[in-house]
A and B are shown apart, each in its own frame.
Chain A
Amino acid sequence: MSAAVAMKAPVAPRQGPVFEDLSVGQQVDTLSKGPLTTAHLMRWSAAMENWHKIHYDLPFATGHDKLPGLLINGSLKQQFILQLLKDWAGDTGWVWKVKFQFRAMNLVGETLSIWAKVTGTRAIEGRYGLVDLDLGIVNGEGKESTPGAATIALPFRNGAAFPYPFVPPEA
Chain B
Amino acid sequence: MPVMLTDEIKGYIGRTSAEIIATDTVEPGAVRRYAQAIMDEDPGYAPGAEAGRYGGPVAPPLYPAFMFRRPLGTPDALTERAADPDFDGLVSAASDGLPELPLPGRALLNGGSEVEIVRYARHGEAVKQRSRYADIYEREAKNGTAMLFVIVETEYRTTNDELLLKVRKTHIRR
Contact = CB atoms under 8 A, between A and B. Distances in A.
Interface string A148-167: 10000000000001001110
Interface in B111-133: 111-119
B119 A102 contact: no
Contact of A165 (B60, B78, B118): B118
A82 B60 contact: yes
A46 B33 CA distance: 9
B118 A52 contact: no
Contacts, number: 129
Contacts of B85: 64
Residue of A8, A13, A80, A165 with most partner-chain B CB within 10 A: A165
B62 interface: yes
Contacts of B50: 10-11
B91 A51 contact: yes
Contacts of A50: 90-91
Contact of B114 (A83, A95, A99): A99
A33 B90 contact: no
A79 B89 contact: no
B100 interface: no
B35 to A, nearest CB: 9
A47 B162 contact: no
Given A51-B90, A99-B113, A79 B162 contact: no
A44 B34 CA distance: 7
Interface string A71-97: 001111011101100110001001111
A9 B48 contact: yes
Contact of B115 (A9, A60, A80, A99): A99
By size class, the interface of chain B is: 35 or more
A148 B162 contact: no
Given A11-B49, A54-B88, A100 B112 contact: yes
Interface of A: 7-11, 13, 33, 40, 43-44, 46-54, 57, 60, 64-65, 73-76, 78-80, 82-83, 86-87, 91, 94-103, 146, 148, 161, 164-166, 168
Given A52-B90, A164-B119, 19 more contacts: A9-B47, A10-B50, A11-B49, A11-B50, A33-B39, A43-B36, A47-B37, A48-B34, A48-B66, A49-B69, A51-B90, A53-B88, A64-B86, A82-B115, A94-B117, A97-B116, A98-B114, A102-B111, A161-B53
29 contacts: A7-B46, A9-B49, A10-B49, A10-B50, A33-B39, A40-B39, A43-B36, A47-B34, A47-B36, A47-B38, A48-B37, A49-B69, A50-B91, A51-B90, A52-B90, A74-B112, A78-B62, A78-B115, A79-B40, A79-B60, A82-B61, A86-B42, A96-B116, A97-B115, A101-B111, A102-B109, A102-B110, A102-B111, A165-B118
